[in-house]
Chain A
């Protein structure tokens, strides 16, 4: 009887807990999906803005550019909000800047060539090195796109932070919400700066990893060619 009661109690406690856990997972999944979709939109928009900026002469932005900048402004606000909510639900999300997946920041495989590597082992390592080089190239493109978006978001956020700080000083104690707005802008600005630094750091590491892969690939192909010319 006592065992039944204990089991019933456990079911009562564990049932809602697991339901809450799966609900949280669903929320995280939905937020991640929306964040990634918005980040892709932002990436396309950042490309268009860069193209329009390059074509604009003089200090004033043209109508089309201004329209795109406003759209980016709205998108950046949404991304800020999504990232904040995601960070509260899933602390690991802070480790990967917006728009990037874990695969985009994962280091390339370190494929070492042994002195005795010949024949099929060498071929397998060459195939692996080529696959890693392709992954590295894709990763590099994605990091570059993420950096463009982050740089534009930082520009937007810096202007917002300046607006909020000016208003805070100007309004004094009369409009207390402006104080909070200014604080919030500073924290968001800091998070964006950290994210950009992380992407830039990864870009540096990736360049070194790709250089190593190229070097080893050349070495492996040289060995294979050498083995082919000496074999009967």
Chain B
């Protein structure tokens, strides 16, 4: 085993990772060829990613009948650092990525920092069994809006048994925690247990059906949820397609309590001041976390449906086109303020990314995103369009 790590070269490449876009553009970076394949020792790959972003938002900003339309457009600078590492062999592997991104670093009113880390490890135990471990951590801080700060941590363990027919049975246990340091009343914890059946249908196609049970923390009104997820992927040498449908419903739904509290019951009112305050004329700032990757943050709802699509295709030797779409509908989602009735939350996102590999070390990235959110009483209607342009240097 050898370790491929050159500190001097690493430091020179890690000096700066500039970005002018919400950080989900970071995920658009392409893995180095050697990180995608097996390796005998550790591989470390820092890269430089420079992006310019133009964001345009429009929507209704105030609550109730008095809402008024508003729009904003902005160009935001950012500074980020990132590193990925991995190794893999015939029986297992590890892959990890960390990135630290600061948006508007020179403007104290808009400065925001996001740390994102992911690790994934897998190991075959004989020819039939396999174990996987996953950990994801995300921390967001805003100097001018500390109440929007959040930490998210997700850990997952998977045990897989593969039969002689090629079908695999997967047992998953996960724990997700979203905490808001300045608004602890909104913290959400969630534990899930699921049993999936995976099968490869030949020709690069694989399908998984996974019923699950999940339990939210004590602060949730609908604590127990039952659901199922169906996912299919098809990979070939020119591209990849993936489709996922996810459904969940509350077990023993408890409607919003109305009327005075029962005698002896202690009610702790959540002060409105505990929630982030938004100036009425300004649209809510886009969260740094990727809206297409935030299902871990979903508050419990009576019912949830979600369809996700991912497709990528190489066009010729140098171009790659990626399309992502997601439609989500939450019926009677639990409100941010306790005591209020639940509401329907409907969202859809569409994103297209074009990556042009200019050379082995340089790529141009262009991304257009469109998002629509309706039904949330805090933001009755929000339509957001964003365009990013960037250069990735490796």
Contact = CB atoms under 8 A, between A and B. Distances in A.
Interface in A94-113: none
A183 B33 CA distance: 15
Interface string A153-190: 00010111111111101111111111111110111011
Given A166-B312, A169-B31, A181-B206, A91 B293 contact: no
Contact of A77 (B127, B203, B310, B322): B203
B293 A190 contact: no
A193 B37 CA distance: 10
Contact of B90 (A73, A158, A174, A191): A191
A89 B162 CA distance: 12
Given A173-B154, A175-B231, A186-B37, A167 B237 contact: no
Nearest to B290: A172
Contacts of A167: 235, 240, 242, 310, 312
Please report whether the interface of chain A is mostly helix, strand, loop or mixed according to DSSP. Answer: helix
Interface residues on B, range: 35 or more
A183 B93 contact: yes
Contact of B204 (A77, A169, A193, A194): A77
A69 interface: yes
Interface string B28-55: 1111010111100000000000000000
Contacts of B240: 163-164, 167, 178, 181
Contacts of A159: 237-238, 314
A123 interface: no
A159 B198 CA distance: 23
B235 A189 contact: no
Interface residues of A, number: 50
Contacts of A158: 33, 36-37
Interface in B341-362: none
Interface of A: 27, 59-60, 69-70, 73-74, 77-78, 81, 84-85, 87-89, 91, 156, 158-167, 169-183, 185-187, 189-191, 193-194
Interface of B: 27-31, 33, 35-38, 88-91, 93, 95, 97, 118, 120, 122, 124, 127-128, 132, 134, 136, 154, 162, 164-166, 198, 200, 202-204, 206, 208, 231-233, 235-240, 242, 244, 290, 292-293, 295-296, 308, 310, 312, 314, 316-317, 320, 322, 324, 326
Given A81-B202, A163-B237, 5 more contacts: A78-B203, A88-B127, A156-B237, A161-B37, A172-B293
22 contacts: A69-B237, A74-B204, A77-B204, A77-B236, A81-B166, A85-B165, A85-B166, A158-B37, A159-B238, A163-B235, A163-B314, A164-B36, A167-B310, A169-B31, A171-B310, A173-B295, A174-B295, A177-B244, A183-B93, A183-B132, A185-B36, A186-B36
